Amino acid sequence: MVIWGGIFLPKTMVDALGVFLAAPRKARKYTDWHARCIAGQKAASFFKATRDSDVFRLTASKIAADAYEDIRDQKEVAVINSSLVLKVREQASSMRTILPAAQHLPGDANTKEFRSGLDSLCQWATPTSAPANKSGDICARAFTLTLARKFAIAFSDIPVEYIHSLVAMGWPNRSLSATWKLLCGTVTDRIKREAESIRLQEASAHGAAVFAIQTASTARHVMSEIEHQVVEQLQSEMERVRQGKRRFSNDAARLQAMQEIARSLEDSGLADELLIVIRDRLKEYSHDHQH
């Protein structure tokens, strides 16, 4: 057994997790971790009809892998109840009331982001991502909520019994009834609403990035012919991102060229959003070609 955060995991499971995370994307479907994650009737019930594809199965395996990897160095589980949330809201509101004008605040406090964050705390609601008390196995409960949130974001669904099978890989004595009790209708409805909000924010960011590319492409009279081609390719690749396609079909040099075009945009906010997308793809490209 291997100490893994607050639990013990079989060494074979830890080894399988490591192999999966290190494997190139195309090789992951042949790993032991993937086989573990898609085995059993609960998985078969979830991956049917429109979800009957390797893409969806690999997405679920990656969700489980990321969730287990996240708890490896976890020292303690956050407990966030309504009393704590209320206290934070009250303190944030009090601070918001007495803050002077932004230009008088130091450093990072003199930013829209700081004010926006403070406003968010003033309206903070009890999150679904953390246990509200310390009863039962708090580690298992936190892990289950994490999986539910990840599935809601990726699939717009929370398959409770399939999620339980993934939880049981690390907590074999965890009962299905405990998972159902935690992921009751009220909780899953809230998680789904939060996931939808996250998806809308991501869609908005992608839309803004596409707009930035289109804006850049209208300035062709100041671009070289090569830059024109790069902008057109960038538009094509951003459309792939919008459609949820995770791989770029071009090479690293082209991605680097796209990055330079993005950096030249006058709107720094849009440029930053675009650069994040490109950098993620560069990392993915680099990782896949190291294997």
pLDDT digit string, tens, across residues 69-99? 988 877 777 777 788 888 988 898 888 888 8
pLDDT digit string, tens, across residues 162-177? 999 999 999 999 999 9
Q: Are 134 and 248 within one domain?
A: no
Instruction: Report the chain's terminal Cα–Cα distance, integer Å.
Output: 29
Q: Are 116 and 139 within one domain?
A: no
What average pLDDT does the segment 209-236 reach? Answer: 55
Domain limits for position 157: 2-76+129-183
pLDDT given at position 249 = 42
Could you tell me if residue 192 is inside a domain?
Answer: no
Instruction: Determine contact, residues 5/73, Cβ cutoff 8 Å.
Output: yes
Q: Are 63 and 104 within one domain?
A: no
Q: Are 218 and 261 within one domain?
A: yes
Least confident of 61-65, 142-146, 265-269: 265-269
| CA–CA distance, 47 with 35 (Å, rounded to integer) | 14
Q: How many domains does the chain have?
A: 3
Least confident of 24-33, 142-151, 265-274: 265-274
pLDDT given at position 201 = 66
Could you tell me if residue 249 is inside a domain?
Answer: yes
- Burial group, residue 125, by CB count within 10 angstroms (0-12, 13-18, 19+): exposed
Q: Are 157 and 248 within one domain?
A: no
Does the pTM exceed 0.75?
Answer: no
